[in-house]
Amino acid sequence: MNPRLAGIDPRLYLITDSAQCGEAGRSVAETVREAVAGGVGIVQVRDKDIDDDAFYALTREVITAVDSAVVDSATAGTQRRVLIVLNDRVAVAQRLLAEGADVHIHVGQSDTPVEQVRERIGPEPLIGLSAADDAEFAAARDSSAVDLVGIGPVYDTTTKTDAPDGIGPDRLGDLVAEARLPAVAIGGITTARAAELRGRGLIGICVVSAICRAEDPRSAAQDLLAEFGDGRAEG
């Protein structure tokens, strides 16, 4: 077990989208608070349209929202650790880490290379990497800097406008088997589709719109978790 994932429930991973949360009439922080109350175990802060100072402020709001949801669950009798991951933004992560915050990084293939991220943020934070095909998986597997891979899109998505077509759950399962790294699937995942992602070797499913656009992010998270279960095939 990778110690960087110790104590985490990785089955449901939320990526924030400020525009989608706004359209649903909520802030990112409110959405995160409800989603974590509903069982989200990893929260990635992602916003391509703001500068580093605004991204820092947004991440601070997310940290506060996660802390308050976790305190509520501790009162209810469960001890939890929820990972907060920054999409790229290595400089913002360095600033937060220097201030003592517990933050982690996810990068895409065209962002800062993972070895450079590791050098800059040190040994403790988790590093996630997006991978979409065999070559990207092989590279992720060969890099000791990568802790977690995000595979997708598994289904067609409109959230990421430059995303290719979905690879489908069967191809996803093949890639996960080759990955030999903890893997989460992303792209077009809804409550109705979460059950067919069981039995594919994933440690979790990752969503944007299924929670950010939901009328009730807490129950959306609960429903996604109920369908995905422990990720193993039913039976």
**Residue closest to 38 by CA, chosen among 210, 197, 223:** 223
Interaction between residue 136 and Mg ion (CB under 5 A): no
Among 16, 157, 191, 222, binds ligand TZP (CB under 6 A): 157
Among 30, 47, 61, 111, binds Mg ion (CB under 5 A): 111
Interaction between residue 28 and ligand TZP (CB under 6 A): no
Using alpha carbons only, give the angle 55, 60, 63 rounded to the nearest 5 degrees: 125
Enumerate residues 80-99 that contact Mg ion by CB under 5 A: 88
Q: What is the rounded CA–CA span in Å between residue 78 and residue 208?
A: 25
Strand partners, 184: 150, 204
Enumerate residues 197-216 that contact ligand TZP by CB under 6 A: 207-210
Q: What is the rounded CA–CA span in Å between residue 104 and residue 125?
A: 5
User: 89-118 mask for ligand TZP (x: CB under 6 A)?
Assistant: ------------------------------
Among 4, 80, 108, 141, binds Mg ion (CB under 5 A): 108
Nearby residues of 112 by Cβ (< 8 Å), 6 or more positions away: 88, 90, 120
Annotated binding site: 44-48, 87-88, 111, 130, 157-160, 188, 208-209
